[in-house]
């Protein structure tokens, strides 16, 4: 099969022209791309420089690594160094600074840390290290939660005694509700995350349209992103407000019901701490009592992860909320760079500060 080409240059140029045309009659348009992968792609394409002056793309809190509390990182490092647990994680978390340490630093002190590309590999690692407690750092948004749920169910089915899951899953819509309540942001619409939508579908975003914020579920190829921007701009021009799906080849209106069902067999919704933003009600997941045996916080009697201390002068909180652009932070590019990050938005490669630094403001 030859894929339909979603990066064709001439169509891209056509769409850019039409975005310019569609936005002509509009004032300042402020679109938030919620997803960190969008932020990365927009930077990688050099798209900001190609858009009309009156279209601003604001980066949202959609980098799961950036919103993972610093105290979570410290606690994970502590599990490895004080309890001798083997930490299994996605590569994204390795360089994220906690409050006092990072996993990279813990590793240089001898902590056992394995980098994996799937939670299922944590099960294999647990079997290979039967004499050691193995902890999987279970982070991510809705796209990732079904995988975590299945891994926990598999661990239960296989009766793995030495594996547990340290969960810091977040869910997207509650964070968007907080953002749109912040009138200071003056958002005009949303570029919604395509892969999160592949799981949760279209309806959870309806409140955006109801509150006059046209939004497009958007994929990640160049034409996808341009399509998202054009569709929202076109709705603004016609004073329409709806949730449109520009990524129907992957995201179905109803999402993925099988995956959703699985998630809620293993997890329940709970309040969650977003680094730099604070505690948001009903915005995260925690393991249900049925699978409580696999909850690392219970197994290691860990305290609450509710300390969201930020480094002094770091504006990641405002950046994550889209209140300021990364370049407006006093630390940006001077004392805070990707090789010497102060805040979480700089350290994760999809964090908005890192994306701005990498790809130019």
CA distances from 41 to 213, 281, 353 (A): 23, 30, 14
Of 117 and 184, the one with the shorter C-beta distance to other proteins is 117
**Which residue from 26, 56, 112, 114 is in contact with other proteins, where contact means CB under 8 A?**
114
> According to the binding rule CB under 8 A, does residue 231 interact with other proteins?
yes
Candidates 159-167, 184-192, 196-204, 296-304; binding stretch for other proteins (CB under 8 A): 196-204
**Which residue from 29, 31, 32, 35 is in contact with other proteins, where contact means CB under 8 A?**
35
Distance CA 65, CA 139 (A): 8
CA distances from 147 to 120, 122, 260, 319, 325 (A): 8, 12, 11, 29, 33
Shortest reach from residue 360's CB to other proteins, in Å: 5
Shortest reach from residue 147's CB to other proteins, in Å: 4
CB atoms within 10 A of CB 345: 36
Count of residues touching other proteins (by CB under 8 A)? 94
Candidates 75-83, 179-187, 227-235, 327-335; binding stretch for other proteins (CB under 8 A): 227-235
Question: DSSP class of residue 22?
Answer: H
Candidates 63-71, 76-84, 209-217, 275-283; binding stretch for other proteins (CB under 8 A): 63-71
Contact 69, 275 (CB under 8 A): yes
Shortest reach from residue 157's CB to other proteins, in Å: 11
Mapped onto helix, strand or coil, the DSSP state of residue 258 is helix
Of 187 and 231, the one with the shorter C-beta distance to other proteins is 231
Give me the helices (H) in the chain, please: 9-23, 36-44, 70-83, 103-108, 119-128, 145-157, 172-181, 194-200, 206-210, 222-237, 257-266, 296-299, 316-320, 344-347, 352-359
Contact 276, 343 (CB under 8 A): yes
**Which residue from 29, 171, 199, 229 is in contact with other proteins, where contact means CB under 8 A?**
199
Mapped onto helix, strand or coil, the DSSP state of residue 129 is coil
Candidates 189-197, 278-286, 298-306, 328-336; binding stretch for other proteins (CB under 8 A): 189-197
**Which residue from 130, 258, 313, 327 is in contact with other proteins, where contact means CB under 8 A?**
258
Distance CA 183, CA 255 (A): 30
Mapped onto helix, strand or coil, the DSSP state of residue 336 is strand
Candidates 203-211, 228-236, 279-287, 317-325; binding stretch for other proteins (CB under 8 A): 228-236
Distance CA 354, CA 310 (A): 17
> According to the binding rule CB under 8 A, does residue 31 interact with other proteins?
no
Of 209 and 244, the one with the shorter C-beta distance to other proteins is 244
x/- track of binding to other proteins for residues 117-156 (CB under 8 A): xxxxx---x--------------xx-xx-xx--x------
Structure tokens at 69: 């509390």
Of 164 and 233, the one with the shorter C-beta distance to other proteins is 233
Q: Of residues 69-108, which lie at the interface with other proteins (CB under 8 A)?
A: 90-92, 94-95, 97, 100-102, 104-105, 107-108
Distance CA 60, CA 315 (A): 14
> According to the binding rule CB under 8 A, does residue 332 interact with other proteins?
no
Candidates 184-192, 295-303, 327-335, 344-352; binding stretch for other proteins (CB under 8 A): 344-352
Of 210 and 254, the one with the shorter C-beta distance to other proteins is 254
């Amino acid at each position: 099969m030859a894929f339909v080409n979603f990066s064709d240059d001439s169509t891209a140029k056509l769409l850019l022209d039409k975005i310019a045309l569609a936005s002509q009659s509009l004032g300042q348009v402020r679109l938030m791309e919620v997803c960190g992968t969008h932020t990365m792609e927009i930077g990688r394409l050099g798209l900001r420089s190609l858009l009309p002056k009156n279209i601003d793309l604001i980066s949202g809190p959609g980098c799961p690594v950036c919103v993972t509390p610093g105290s979570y990182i410290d606690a994970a490092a502590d599990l490895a160094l004080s309890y001798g647990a083997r930490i299994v994680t996605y590569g994204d978390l390795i360089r994220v600074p906690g409050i006092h340490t990072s996993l990279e630093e813990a590793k240089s002190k001898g902590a056992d840390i394995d980098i994996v590309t799937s939670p299922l590999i944590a099960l294999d690692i647990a079997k290979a290290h039967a004499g050691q407690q193995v902890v999987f750092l279970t982070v991510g948004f809705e796209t990732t939660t079904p995988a975590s749920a299945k891994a926990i169910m598999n661990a239960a089915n296989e009766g793995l005694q030495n594996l547990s899951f340290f969960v810091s899953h977040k869910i997207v819509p509650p964070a968007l509700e907080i953002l749109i309540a912040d009138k200071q942001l003056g958002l005009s619409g949303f570029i919604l995350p395509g892969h999160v939508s592949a799981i949760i579908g279209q309806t959870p975003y309806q409140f955006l349209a109801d509150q006059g914020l046209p939004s497009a579920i958007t994929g990640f190829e160049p034409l996808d992103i341009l399509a998202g921007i054009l569709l929202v701009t076109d709705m603004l021009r016609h004073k329409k407000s709806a949730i449109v799906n520009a990524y129907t080849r992957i995201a179905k209106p109803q999402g993925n019901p099988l995956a959703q069902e699985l998630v809620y067999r293993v997890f329940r919704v709970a309040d969650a701490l977003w680094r730099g933003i604070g505690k948001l009600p009903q915005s995260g997941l925690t393991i249900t009592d049925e699978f409580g045996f696999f909850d690392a916080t219970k197994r290691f009697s860990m305290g609450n992860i509710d300390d969201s201390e930020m480094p002094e002068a770091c504006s990641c909180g405002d950046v994550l909320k889209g209140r300021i652009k990364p370049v407006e932070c006093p630390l940006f590019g001077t004392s805070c760079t990707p090789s010497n990050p102060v805040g979480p938005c700089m350290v994760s490669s999809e964090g908005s500060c890192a994306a701005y630094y990498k790809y130019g403001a």
